[in-house]
């Protein structure tokens, strides 16, 4: 097993699998679904990024295409 490397500034890794998001394309009105089991860790990681970028988001736990996760919407 490889040691965990620290997260890069804007990436997500809620369950140990790195998810890279193009945050420049996350405009107001768009949404992002993050499939994950550890939803608490996912929310914390997303909130850390959006707080640093000055974004506001709403979120909901959901099942999409048979996968559990969280959908985030960027709002004004």
Q: Are 55 and 73 in contact (CB under 8 A)?
A: no
* Per-residue model confidence (pLDDT) at position 10: 93
Buried b (16+ CB within 10 A) or exposed e, 42-60: bbebbeebbeeeebebebe
The pTM score is 0.89
Beta bridge partners of 63: 68
20-54 residue pLDDT tens: 999 999 999 999 999 999 999 999 999 999 999 99
Percent of the chain past pLDDT 90, that is, above it, reads: 88
Q: With residue 53 as reference, give the H or E element that holds it.
A: helix 39-53
Res 3: pLDDT: 56
């Amino acid at each position: 097993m490889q040691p965990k490397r620290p997260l890069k500034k804007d990436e997500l890794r809620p369950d140990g699998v790195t998810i890279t998001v193009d945050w420049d394309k996350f405009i107001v009105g768009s949404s992002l679904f993050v499939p994950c089991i550890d939803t608490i860790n996912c929310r914390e990681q997303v909130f850390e990024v959006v707080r640093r970028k000055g974004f506001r988001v709403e979120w909901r736990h959901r099942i999409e295409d048979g996968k559990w996760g969280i959908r985030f919407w960027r709002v004004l």
